[in-house]
Amino acid sequence: DTEVTQTPKHLVMGMTNKKSLKCEQHMGHRAMYWYKQKAKKPPELMFVYSYEKLSINESVPSRFSPECPNSSLLNLHLHALQPEDSALYLCASSQSMSTSGGDNEQFFGPGTRLTVL
Amino acid sequence: AQKVTQAQTEISVVEKEDVTLDCVYETRDTTYYLFWYKQPPSGELVFLIRRNSFDEQNEISGRYSWNFQKSTSSFNFTITASQVVDSAVYFCALNYLYNFNKFYFGSGTKLNVKP
């Protein structure tokens, strides 16, 4: 099973709403990633979790709050977002954050298309 | 500095034509990894291939082939006998040893295959 699942597929929210994005993988991967992708741009890294601990935060505004409840799940909590936060949010996983042993390809989920009104 | 350049923003071909997507990278590291991903309109990035810097052997997988040349810092991707299902955005990416598996993506090449 090389699948990463994400829910919901689409989300529309107002600027005062609180919502959460969910990501799940059952490949035994110990690193999980959140990316933001605007139209016609490559994915931009937001957060990286390694062994359920936040390892990298790419200076993301605090209105985005990640959470890793266990090794298979990754959440992204959203609060007081701005219209410019509308984008495709992608989750990915890999064996680990280490690049020394190979097997460092990241497997991506289908993404959540977020629209902030 | 790490950088990946995909100079072709968009390419259009007719089905059954061969097409090559270019990827040029910059890195000072001697150990690094190069990747290609496909992103169809559905949005998911699909992993296609990983190459490490010590393996310059070209690879073929069905209609796909990759040409890695360290001398020109290029990792080009060729689709032979293209099909409509190959229409997607293709990203080349780079990471290097001990960088926490952080990917440097190129800007992507949109491939349109017309019937």
Grouping H, G, I as helix, E, B as strand and the rest as coil, residue A13 is: strand
Question: Which of A90, A94, A82, A79 lies closest to A30 in space, CA to CA?
Answer: A94
What tokens were used for A66?
A: 């990640």
Residue B101's pLDDT is what?
84
**B98 interface with A at CB cutoff 8 Å:** yes
Burial class (CB in 10 A: 0-12, 13-18, 19+), B24: middle
A-B contacts (CB, under 8 Å) = 68
- Beta carbons of B100 and A43 less than 8 Å apart: no
Grouping H, G, I as helix, E, B as strand and the rest as coil, residue A83 is: helix
Residue B71's pLDDT is what?
93
Q: For residues A106-111, give the mean pLDDT.
A: 95
| Dihedral sign for Cα atoms in the order B92, B98, B102, B107 | negative
Q: Which stretch of DSSP H or E encloses residue B113?
A: strand B109-114
C-beta of residue B52 within 8 angstroms of C-beta of residue A100: no
* Mean pLDDT across chain B: 94
Residue A73's pLDDT is what?
97
**B103 interface with A at CB cutoff 8 Å:** yes
Q: For residues B100-105, give the mean pLDDT.
A: 89
Looking at beta carbons, which residues of chain A come within 8 Å of B46? 108
Q: What is the DSSP-derived secondary structure letter of residue A46? A: E
pLDDT in tens, A7-48: 999 999 998 899 999 999 999 999 999 999 999 999 999 999
**B53 interface with A at CB cutoff 8 Å:** no
The span from the CA of A97 to the CA of B29, in Å, is 18
C-beta of residue B41 within 8 angstroms of C-beta of residue B57: no
pLDDT in tens, A50-97: 999 999 999 999 999 999 999 999 999 999 999 999 999 999 999 888
pLDDT score of B78 more than 70: yes
What tokens were used for A28?
A: 């035994």
